[in-house]
Amino acid sequence: MLGAALRRCAVAATTWAGPRGLLHSARTPGPAAGINTLATYDLVPEPKIIDAALRACRRLNDFASTVRILEAVKDKAGPHKEIYPYVIQELRPTLNELGISTPEELGLDKV
């Protein structure tokens, strides 16, 4: 399922990562536009896309959005509970490098 959506993910990644250099507006859209768009697609983003989004949040000094993105990934997986742990496993080096805590570590996955 992840493999099948890779092409679309890659396209999505390039579309929101690419035009940033061509924008003439003062404010770059940041990871929000891309993540919100990806959330409307019927797929769970590949770890490398999430990695790019997390690094974008780091560049913008936005810690809260990193947690939100991880929450969104888990939510997108829906009933397929094995996807989110895999994504976290793949992202673990980046999470450690940037000092990002998962929602579970922060206790935000409980009501």
For another protein, the binding residues in 40-99 under the rule CB under 8 A are 40, 58, 61-65, 67-69, 71-72, 74-75, 98-99
Helices 47-59, 6-17: crossing angle, 10 deg rounding: 20
Q: Residues 10, 11, 23, 108: which binds another protein (CB under 8 A)?
A: 108
Q: How far is the CB of 4 from another protein (least distance, A)?
A: 21
Nearer to another protein, 92 or 109 (CB): 109
What is the distance between the alpha carbons of residues 107 and 93, in angstroms, rounded to a whole number?
Answer: 21
**Mask for 2-41, x = binds another protein (CB under 8 A):** -----------------------------xx--xx--xx-
Question: Which residue's structure tokens are 């997108």?
Answer: 76
The tokens describing 48, both together, are: 């490398």
What is the distance between the alpha carbons of residues 96 and 72, in angstroms, rounded to a whole number?
Answer: 20
